[in-house]
Chains A and B, each alone.
Chain A
Amino acid sequence: MITLVYLARLRETLGTAAEKVEPPHDVGTVGALLAWLRTRGGAWAAELAPGRAVRVAVNHDVAKPDTPVKHGDEVALFPPVTGG
């Protein structure tokens, strides 16, 4: 089980703030997780398409496509930050 958190614009376009998912066993990285979510189609395929500016954090640390994702992790998806 992985907890997905969606923030800011992504929360609105995907229509959800958080969910728990059970991806297939071969989904072991951030990149693979995004690819799996894209198979949902629609807004998921559009918003998470390669080349879109989607940032990812695993357990509150900035992640890259090859960052491992495992059972119990909290994975957040969000647009580039605009604070300050």
Chain B
Amino acid sequence: MPVRVQKADFDVAREIAALHAGDARIGAVAAFIGLVRDISDAAAVSTLTLEHYPGMTEKALTGIVDEAKSRWKIYDALVIHRVGELKPTDQIVLVVVTGAHRGDAFAACEFIMDYLKTRAPFWKKEQTPAGERWVEARASDDDAAARW
């Protein structure tokens, strides 16, 4: 599956190796790993809870990967996004793209992340010393997605 939504952590090295195993056409692998930070808008975050919309989230991610494949010369792409309760320093998202050359692999990887941030149905709730709060969407993320 090129797209996975899961509670469990992921092994970056294993996922990358599995994506390009046995394919000698591949000369470039680009990867992005997103981590949970401990500070959000100056507040200390103790826990982050990720919610998604089962069915639509997978469909949206698959659509984003398909669009990346149509726009750039890449061979394959993998997206893993975690849900549930996460803590600072935890891995939250992994995007891996394989291609013949780095240019298209880098671009497709960044495109997938920018679109994921603005189009894939995930929502973050932060637990801080002042209580819990839903994270607000950022205009800068819309700007990043609009570049493509």
Interface residues of A (CB under 8 A from B): 5, 7-9, 53, 57, 60-62, 76, 78-84
Contact = CB atoms under 8 A, between A and B. Distances in A.
A75 to B, nearest CB: 11
Contacts of B53: 5, 7, 57, 60, 76, 78
Contact of B120 (A9, A76, A81): A81
Contacts of B120: 81, 83-84
B45 to A, nearest CB: 13
A71 B55 CA distance: 20
A76 B92 contact: no
B122 A81 contact: yes
Contact of A83 (B55, B56, B59, B122): B122
A19 B99 CA distance: 45
Contacts of A61: 56, 59
Given A60-B55, A76-B53, A84-B113, A7 B137 contact: no
Nearest to B133: A9
B93 A84 contact: yes
B2 interface: no
B50 A83 contact: yes
